[in-house]
Amino acid sequence: MDVSGSAPPAQYEGVWRFTAPATEESVPQARRAVRDLLGRQGVPADRDLVYALLLIVSELVTNSVRHAALLSPEVAVEVAIDRAWVRVAVEDNHPYRPKALEADFGQTGGRGLLLVREITREAGGVCDVEHTSTGGKVIWAALPHAGNAPAHPAHAANPAHPTHPARPV
């Protein structure tokens, strides 16, 4: 423990951010970058959690590439990890705040956010879409990775401060 009485951060804790062009090639690149980061940092995440996080990143980057590239030629991916949560966020400069479509089995697409919401819910996490200070948006999902995660991370909703100690990432 440090002088303040709190435990020192685990070796895997931190915030990482990278940008990529808003092109289809960035989707698998973002997925690989997140997978490699989780492995390199030694995050205590089982295969199902890693799969869920990678699917969420794929869906969110795909949405930015398909729907925001005209106004946002670059997409940012952020991964924030603390003792109990992994938070992935995708930011672009398009002001439109998307809504998850309901299941319409006649459609062949358009359900990426619905999928993100359901994966997040099943994992015991939370997700949201918020505007950025620059007029764009950030879509994020926070999933618990350890047994000591609270049932509902009430303060996971402020992406502007990813390392704020009072909220899970």
Q: Which pLDDT does position 69 carry in this prediction?
A: 85
- Region 23-50: mean pLDDT is 95
**Whether pLDDT at 93 is above 90:** yes
List the structure tokens of 60.
Answer: 């969110």
pTM for this prediction: 0.79
- Read off the pLDDT of residues 104-135 as tens digits, 9 standing for 90 and up: 555 555 578 889 999 999 999 999 999 999 99
Q: Residue 118 maps to which CATH number?
A: 3.30.565.10
Residue 162 lies in a domain: no
- Read off the pLDDT of residues 39-51 as tens digits, 9 standing for 90 and up: 999 998 999 999 9
Residue 62 lies in a domain: yes
Residue 168 lies in a domain: no
**Whether pLDDT at 33 is above 50:** yes
Element (H, E) at 116: helix 112-122
Q: Which pLDDT does position 155 carry in this prediction?
A: 41
C-alpha–C-alpha distance, residues 52 and 99, integer Å: 20
Domain that holds residue 114: 14-144
Backbone angles phi, psi at 10, to 5 degrees: -70, 160
Backbone angles phi, psi at 143, to 5 degrees: -120, 140
User: How many structural domains is the chain composed of?
Assistant: 1
Residue 153 lies in a domain: no
Residue 96 lies in a domain: yes
Residue 74 lies in a domain: yes
Residue 54 lies in a domain: yes
In the block, which residue shows the tokens 């400069």? 93
- Read off the pLDDT of residues 139-162 as tens digits, 9 standing for 90 and up: 999 999 865 555 444 444 343 344
